[in-house]
Amino acid sequence: MTVTVLAYGAGNVASVQFALERLGATVRLASDPTEVAEAERLILPGVGHAAYAMDRLRALGLAETIAGFPRPLLGVCLGQQLLFEATDEGGNTPMLRLIPGRVRSLPPNPALPVPHMGWSKLSIDRDDPLLEGLETDAWAYFVHAFVCPDGGATIARADYGGPVPAVVRSRNRWGCQFHPERSSQTGARILRNFLELPA
Kindly list the domain boundaries of the chain, sorted by start residue: 2-196
User: Pseudo-torsion of CA 46, 48, 51, 57, nearest 10°?
Assistant: -30
**What pLDDT does residue 1 have?**
86
**What pLDDT does residue 84 have?**
98
Q: CB neighbours of 32 closer than 8 A, spacing ≥ 6?
A: none
**What pLDDT does residue 90 have?**
83
**What pLDDT does residue 170 have?**
98
- Has 85 been annotated as catalytic? no
**What pLDDT does residue 36 have?**
98
Which residue out of 40, 64, 179, 196 is catalytically annotated?
179
- Has 179 been annotated as catalytic? yes
Q: pLDDT tens-digit profile of 12-63?
A: 899 999 999 999 999 999 999 999 999 999 999 999 999 999 999 999 999 9
Host H or E run for residue 56: helix 50-59
Which residue out of 144, 148, 176, 181 is catalytically annotated?
181
**What pLDDT does residue 66 have?**
98
Average pLDDT of the residues of the chain:
96
Tell me how far apart the alpha carbons of residues 155 and 100 are, in angstroms, rounded to a whole number: 15
Which residue out of 64, 77, 135, 144 is catalytically annotated?
77
**What pLDDT does residue 129 have?**
98
Host H or E run for residue 141: strand 139-144
- Residues of the chain under the 50 pLDDT cut: none
**What pLDDT does residue 30 have?**
98
Going by their DSSP bridges, the two strands 146-147 and 116-121 should be labelled as unpaired
State which fold the 2-196 domain adopts: Rossmann fold (3.40.50)
**What pLDDT does residue 108 have?**
86
Q: Which of 87, 14, 101, 9 is nearest to 55 (CA)?
A: 9
The one-letter code for the residue type at 140 is A
- Has 77 been annotated as catalytic? yes
